[in-house]
Amino acid sequence: MRTRRSIALLATAGVLALGGTAAGAAAGPAKGPKSGNETANAQRCARFGSAIDALELTATRLENRIARVKERIAAAQLSPEKLARANAFVARLEARLAKRQAFIDRMEAKFAEKCA
């Protein structure tokens, strides 16, 4: 019984596949390859733009975090060890921000080149 059902299912799928292909061919000429590529490129550019926006948001958050840490350093009387750790932390955040900004610049240049 299971074998018959699977054979019937495969036969039905084959008939529908052939019928769908024949119906598509009878309906008229298919769209040119550019129409699909334009849609795909528009979607890719939209995703690329939203990725750039997300990176800019993270860069803004890093800038805010650096400012908060610097305010805390200025406001507090820290021991030399804590001050050294805080300054090292700010330096790491600033290096991360510089890398992020460079990456954003590269992505914006690529976006202007590919999606203009």
Residue 13 forms part of a structural domain: no
Residue 14 forms part of a structural domain: no
Chain segment 35-94, per-residue pLDDT in tens = 568 888 888 899 989 999 999 999 999 999 999 999 999 998 888 899 999 999 999 999
Residue 95 forms part of a structural domain: yes
The upper half-sphere exposure of residue 56, i.e. CA atoms within 13 Å in the direction of its Cβ, equals: 10
Q: What pLDDT is recorded for position 68?
A: 94
- Which residue range is the domain that position 65 belongs to? 51-115
- pLDDT of 20 above 80: no
Residue 66 forms part of a structural domain: yes
Q: CB count, 10 Å around CB of 89?
A: 14
Q: What pLDDT is recorded for position 94?
A: 96
φ, ψ dihedrals at 28, nearest 5°? 145, 180
Reduced to 3 states, what is the DSSP secondary structure of residue 28?
coil
Q: Which residue has the higher pLDDT, 20 or 95?
A: 95
Residue 103 forms part of a structural domain: yes
- The pTM of this model reads 0.62
Residue 88 forms part of a structural domain: yes
- Residue found by looking up tokens 């292909």 in the block: 21
Q: Structural domain tally of the chain?
A: 1
